[in-house]
Structure 1
């Protein structure tokens, strides 16, 4: 049996944790429907790049193309939008509302290698795709390496042996 040192504050902290969870459970039931339908949400984003461009893909299903605002200012790309909760005139008996509604705002720092004049956006199947072309000077360049002091490259399969 292990000897445990008595800590009088451990019991106080456990009691505080229990009380906090009790109050959270109580307040969670109050106005939960309103909180779910009007809370702002953050759409998930994938960002990747290749040698020619940087691409962002945001999941924004249910948002009309006209309700999206995309801007590039001071090396910052901002995307704003709003998904509205449409209430119909007839009474709906919702059992659960899990989709988030409200406005969103995402901001991304644009690398200095990107040409901010060539940003293009497309919207298809609920996915907003933003493509930013890289500047020509930032694209990778192939550099040929010469072996030794000879300016001509060595051909494969041939060896340079000095004549005896």
Structure 2
């Protein structure tokens, strides 16, 4: 009787629920690490002089991508057109993993960035955004007299 009330592997079910709950919290608050998942995939890192963001957007026209920086929040937004395939009404898709449509990714940046020193480059399907840090925040050597 008790077997029908509980799943076979109660611990596996609790683990699955915990993962789902954590994923819902991960996508709520952006940070320098950005959202937990989404399209496009991002790599975010920093050097002593800059913050570097790489967005992997193969097959997208760079003119369809917008980059905004407002009050320390970097927003990457754009549109990916649907893949063209045979549209004869006879083809049935069994698996479609390629993302198309509107996308938006948001990354909170540190307070020491210089909003006037931002560069965005697109090459080989990778959007690279480099945001320089303020000179006053950069490490410097103080000579002892």
TM over 0.5: yes
Match of 2:52 among 38, 52, 55: 55
Structure 2 gap ranges (5+): 11-37
Structure 1 runs (4+) greater than 4 angstroms displaced:
92-95
**Post-superposition CA distance 1:45-100 (Å, at most 9, x none):** 11111121111001011111111011011221101111111435753675643211
- The answer to whether 1:109 aligns with 2:119 is no
CA distance in 2, matches of 1:94, 1:45: 28
**Post-superposition CA distance 1:8-44 (Å, at most 9, x none):** 3x531328x9xxxxxxxxxxxxxxxxxxxxxxx5211
CA distance in 1, matches of 2:46, 2:86: 46
Larger Rg: 1
Equivalent residue pairs, number: 115
CA distance in 1, matches of 2:120, 2:76: 11
Q: Which residue of 2 aligns with 1:129?
A: 128
Q: Is the 8 A contact 2:112 2:133 kept in 1?
A: yes
Q: 1:114: Cα distance to partner?
A: 0.4
Cα distance change of structure 1 residues 95 and 52 upon mapping to structure 2, 3 Å threshold? same
Q: Which residue of 1 aligns with 2:32?
A: none
Structure 1 gap ranges (5+): 1-6, 18-40, 146-150, 152-164
Q: Which residue of 1 aligns with 2:118?
A: 119
Q: Which residue of 1 aligns with 2:96?
A: 97
Higher strand share: 2
CA distance in 1, matches of 2:123, 2:114: 24
- The answer to whether 1:75 aligns with 2:68 is no
Q: Is the 8 A contact 2:83 2:100 kept in 1?
A: no
